[in-house]
Amino acid sequence: MPRATRATRFAGLLASVMMLIGAVAACGSTDSASGSPAPDSSGSAKAPASTAFPVTLTHKYGSTTIKAEPKRVVTVGLTDQDAVLALGTVPVGTTEWIGGYKGAIGPWAQDKLGSAAAPTVLKDTGTGPQVEKIAALRPDLILALYSGLTKAQYDTLSKFAPVVAQPKEYNDYGIPWQQQTETVGKALGKADEAKKLVDGVEAKFAAAKTANPAFTKATAVMATPYEGTFVYGSQDARSRLLADLGLKLPADLDKVIGDQFGANISKERTDLLDQGVAVWIVPDTTAAVTKLHQDKLYADLKVVKEGREVFVKESGDYGNAVSLSTVLSIPYVLDRLVPQLAAAVDGDPATKVEQPAS
């Protein structure tokens, strides 16, 4: 999958629903309509910790009320853990997407974990959240913001704890990092802290744009050689990185992509890649690049001939951080991506776009 394959997430949906129904019967349930928090180890209900509660959050499947400060947060959204950590809470459970990190916590977020125990890592192999394992973690809040959660999955998980699903105004897996952070802030009773975090990262984007005025005059596209050429749409987090830096996405990008986070394009639409800069997320920066340039249709584009390509190795920390694009990973990304973009759009074909040292 190109770091979030929808096909695999929705394959076998009928089987998934049946599994979820069985899990509910096996595990028991709580009253999701009341939004009652889970009892603590003493058996007593948690009391509201601040005037921030109760808080009601709207999403794709309606609204969810959180009555008290959550203490046991499970993230079903594939990148939601970073916003939770950034706000000082360590989730009890996270959902693995990229792999290779203990607790699904990347190096850009390790200092927020500190000496706390790493979260339990859950899996989603395409049949939906691991309901029994989530229930066993006794969550008092389940976050599914960067997700493709179905209504059936939402209803099932809501029997264990309040669930905040993905927003209805964006495609699945399409929530902007700013809204993700601020929604998590409201859910945790830390709206002001969340806004400060967002402002801090947006200031880094603003500084990069000021230092590189060529960004606002250039177009850009983000792609990966997945089953041909897979291009990310405007609602994908990776494309948003480029837009937040002032680069303009192709005018007809979403017309080609449709209502998806991205899609494979036909050979006839190879021209979509001929922008001021083409950013590629690739398996490696040697053989994969050579293979790309063996495609005559692509190799003949000006973006190739004029050296305006940026390559990001998908399996390293840098590539993983690009794919997550969270409030914690973005500063890590900007330190590496901005110099590459600046070299690509400087107007001099002789300028080499260097790979980051790490």
Write out pLDDT tens, residues 67-109: 999 999 999 999 999 999 999 999 999 999 998 999 999 999 9
Nearest Cα neighbor of 47 from 64, 69, 31 is 69
User: What is the amino acid identity at position 24?
Assistant: V
Q: Are strands 277-282 and 309-313 parallel, antiparallel or unpaired?
A: parallel
- Cβ 44 vs Cβ 14: under 8 Å: no
What per-residue confidence (pLDDT) applies to 2? 58
pLDDT digit string, tens, across residues 269-317: 999 999 999 999 999 999 999 999 999 999 999 999 999 999 999 989 9
The DSSP secondary-structure symbol of 47 reads: P
Q: Which residues 6+ apart lie within 8 Å of 255 measured at CB? A: none
Asked if the model's pLDDT at residue 21 lies above 60, the reply is: no
Count CB neighbours of 58 within 10 A.
Answer: 14
50 confidence band (pLDDT: 50, 70, 90): low
Helices (H), the chain: 6-10, 13-27, 80-86, 110-113, 131-136, 151-157, 177-187, 191-211, 237-244, 253-257, 287-293, 296-299, 302-305, 317-324, 329-344
20 confidence band (pLDDT: 50, 70, 90): very low
pLDDT digit string, tens, across residues 204-253: 999 999 999 999 999 999 999 999 999 999 999 999 999 999 999 999 99
CA of 241: how far to CAs of 43, 238, 244, 279, 349, in Å?
Answer: 45, 5, 5, 11, 24
Q: Go through the chain and tell me how many residues it has.
A: 358
Report residue 353: phi and psi, to 5°: -85, 105
Q: Which residues 6+ apart lie within 8 Å of 33 measured at CB? A: none
124 confidence band (pLDDT: 50, 70, 90): confident
Q: Which residues 6+ apart lie within 8 Å of 67 measured at CB? A: 35, 36, 37, 48, 53, 54
